[in-house]
């Protein structure tokens, strides 16, 4: 299910969330009945369902849906895939970029599907490490390529807006399978994702 503004939300979930967010707004010292806040619990209820829609999506089915037989056997890299997720500790956003590569072994997948897989796992309550591994596992298990590499660079609002309050730290996580466990292949991938090939 891909939520858009016109799509319906689960009524039972939405009404339960509305009650809870009304209460939360009250507990935080605000008046949930004042004009500006009247529709806020409903907006949050919908936003939260959108940002966790990944629980209802199947990454492997997405990859299988555009799996093509192809003999190309060099590295395929899709880099700079933006992502927005929520840390499971504070339910505050973390956001950044994912870089994905795989070396086909008889099958390729639609390029957009790699970005969709990032979204499926990002739109859940996450830690960056698990997100990185889930993306890798879905690609590895579906395409059974010679190897997969995933690197995520992200900033965590729970470290910026609160807590330790560090504004410029970036967290990098990575996961490698198959041929990417070999130093030469891994270095080529890391070199290519750092390169500025089309002048961006
Ligand atoms: N490993 C990992 N940690 C994360 C991620 N997102 C948030 N965290 C951390 O989760 C930890 C939770 O630590 P706790 O001590 O239970 O929570 P806290 O008291 O709010 O911690 P502070 O953020 O240090 O104030 C914090 O260190 C966060 O920085 C993530 O994706 N991966
Ligand atoms: Zn957090």
Band (2; pLDDT cuts 50, 70, 90): low
Under DSSP, the state recorded for 179 is: G
Taking only the tens place, the pLDDT of each residue in 169-183 is: 999 999 999 999 999
Taking only the tens place, the pLDDT of each residue in 115-172 is: 999 999 999 999 999 999 999 999 999 999 999 999 999 999 999 999 999 999 999 9
Q: Note the residue count of the chain.
A: 200
Residue whose CB lies within 8 A of the most ligand 1 atoms, among 86, 87, 89, 169, for a mutation test = 89
The stretch 11-35 carries a mean pLDDT of: 98
Paired strand residues for 49: none
How far apart, in whole angstroms, are the C-alpha atoms of residue 118 and residue 40? 29
The stretch 3-23 carries a mean pLDDT of: 86
CB burial of 107-145 (b: ≥16 within 10 Å; e: otherwise) equals bbbeeebbebbbbbbbbbebebeebbbbbbbbbbebbeb
List the chain domain ranges: 11-51, 57-194
As a CATH number, domain 57-194 is 3.30.1130.10
Fold adopted by 11-51? GTP Cyclohydrolase I; Chain A, domain 1 (1.10.286)
Query: Would 11-51 and 57-194 be classified into the same CATH topology?
Result: no
Q: Which helix (H) or strand (E) holds 199?
A: none
Give the pLDDT confidence score for residue 7 in this predicted structure. Answer: 64
Q: Which of 49, 99, 126, 128 is catalytic?
A: 128
Q: Which of 57, 90, 133, 146 is catalytic?
A: 90
How far apart, in whole angstroms, are the C-alpha atoms of residue 118 and residue 57? 12
Residue ID of nearest Cα to ligand 1 atom 30: 127
pTM over 0.80, yes/no: yes
- The answer to which of 79-83, 107-111, 196-200 has the lowest mean pLDDT is 196-200
H helix intervals, the chain: 11-27, 40-51, 59-64, 111-122, 128-143, 157-160, 183-194
């Amino acid at each position: 299910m891909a939520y858009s503004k016109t799509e319906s939300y689960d009524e039972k979930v939405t009404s339960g969330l509305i009650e809870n967010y009304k209460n939360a707004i009250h507990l935080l010292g605000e008046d949930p009945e004042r004009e500006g806040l009247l529709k806020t619990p409903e907006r949050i209820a919908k936003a939260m369902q959108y940002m966790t829609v990944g629980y209802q999506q199947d990454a492997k089915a997405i990859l299988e849906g555009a799996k093509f037989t192809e003999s190309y056997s060099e590295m395929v890299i899709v880099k700079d895939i933006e992502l927005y997720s929520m840390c499971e500790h504070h339910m505050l956003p973390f956001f950044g970029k994912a870089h994905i590569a795989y070396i086909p072994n008889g099958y390729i997948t639609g390029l957009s599907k790699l970005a969709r897989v990032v979204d499926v796992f990002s739109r859940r309550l996450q830690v960056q490490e698990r997100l990185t591994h889930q993306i890798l596992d879905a690609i590895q298990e579906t395409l059974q390529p010679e190897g997969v590499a995933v690197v995520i660079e992200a900033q965590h609002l729970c470290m910026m807006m609160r807590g330790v309050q560090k504004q410029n730290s970036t967290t990098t996580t990575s996961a490698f399978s198959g041929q990417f466990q070999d130093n030469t292949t891994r270095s080529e991938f890391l070199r290519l994702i750092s390169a500025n090939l089309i002048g961006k």
